[in-house]
Amino acid sequence: MKRRLHNLMLAGTGSDVGKSIIATALCRIFLQDGYSPAPFKAQNMALNSFATKDGLEIGRAQAVQAEAAGVECHTDMNPLLLKPQSDHTSQVVLNGKPVGSSSAYDYFRKEGKEELRQAVCEAFDRLSARYDPIVMEGAGSVSELNLAETDIVNLPMARYANADVILVADIDRGGVFASVYGSIALQKPEYKSLIKGIIINKFRGDLRLFEEGRKILENICKVPVLGVVPYYKDIYIEEEDSVDLARKSFSMEKGKINVAVVLLRHISNFTDFNSLERDPRVHLYYTSNTEDIKKSDIIIIPGTKSTIDDLYELRRNGCAQAIISAHRNGATVLGICGGYQMMGTQILDPQHIEGDTPMLPGLGLLPVVTTMTSEKTTRQTTFHLTACTTEMKGYEIHMGETYPAEGYEIQPLAILDSGKEEGCIVDSKTMGCYLHGILDNPSFIDFLLEPFKEKTETKNQAEDYTAFKQRQYDLLADHVRKHIEMNILYSILKND
């Protein structure tokens, strides 16, 4: 039996330094080396979430890390999730269930923080009793001094977990010496002693050029540099943040089916499109440009955390009319979750769940009406299309109920394994549903692309998405293992 390892926290010199990716890699490496790892992030802020097997909600990054670790995801891996609703407020999800909304100011005040601290510590204890090691992830920077007293996710959590902390820095953004040294120097002695190593991430160029830099960092920080991890281009891991979506190519491609995902301001669960993006028959891009939308073969309106606000913005910026115009000219329109709600005749919000607007007309592409409700539906689903009997899988995370508009009977897009009808389809080019992950099913992709099959110069399908993801975790583990001194890391994690 292997000796139990210390728990490990990957903390950052700032946001978006690559903590999640390194955590994912280490989850896979520990699994490959015969351990039973599990991820943990006490508090996460993200719009891209996932439904657990028991119908609860966690951040997508922890679901990805759990998959890399070879275990079923659970809310104990991310007990506290903040889902931004506006520039100032977030929905607070505790142990997988929404418990209300909070402004940033109220959330980071001391009052009530100890109850949240206790909840995340209890989640960690349950997880730690089942797995070895726990691969913990911090949030943002470890040196936000103004938030130190209410911090429940970074070094105070590492101290509670008796975890060894590895500091991750992004060299690509510049200032790596100052960010690493400052992040360590600003810590209280009891927290500074927890930091056992440094990983320099996102390096570009010849690694030999940083050998002197590595020695300098070790000399001034008195902490070993475990490795310098280069940027990679050909490994695909599902991302949690949508910051890079707008960079994806807008140009049309001949010989392929051009798919436009409408770039909403509050887009959520954009990982819905990863499998479709990889299909060799497809050129997929994200856009809010009306001309790009009009030229597309297929338009997908994605999920959103603020359906009414994003629908209002689509009307304001002309995208709503561009979608309707493209549909009239033969384009397919598919709505998922919030996008499905927008495709209906109207959205009602009598309880002001999303704001002060009680009603907004929809795009009128589907004969359905949505009423916003305070109850959130969160569940994994098995289903088949009404057009075929192939079993498919997905998940739901949404607020609101959608039903036929007065005087209409609708054709459901899918039938759940419970027998419940789901979604709405008018024809092969007009459909919507609440099913996130529906595009991970090859049969649905074939169904979606069928009207445009003559446009494609290749008839090949993408590799099975589940097998593809597993192969990517192995490639990521190989990449990180090659550039991190795992023998030193194991020595740290075994040292008494």
Active site residues: 337, 436
**Beta carbons of 327 and 333 less than 8 angstroms apart:** yes
Interstrand relation of 134-137 and 164-170 (parallel, antiparallel or unpaired): unpaired
Residue 102 contacts residue 92 (beta carbons within 8 Å): yes
Show Cβ contacts of residue 324 under 8 Å, excluding neighbours closer than 6 positions.
Answer: 363, 364, 365
Burial class of 245 by CB neighbour count within 10 A (0 to 12, 13 to 18, 19+): middle
Q: Quick one: angle between helices 465-483 and 19-32, nearest 10? A: 90
Closest of 280, 298, 283 to residue 459, by C-alpha: 280
| β partners of residue 402 | 370
Q: 430 pairs with which residues across the strands?
A: 333, 427
Closest C-alpha among 292, 274, 285, 280 to residue 256: 280
Q: Give yes or no for a cis peptide into 133 (omega within 30° of 0).
A: yes
Sequential DSSP letters for 155-205: HHHHHHTTPEEEEEEEGGGS-HHHHHHHHHHTS-HHHHTTEEEEEEEEE-S
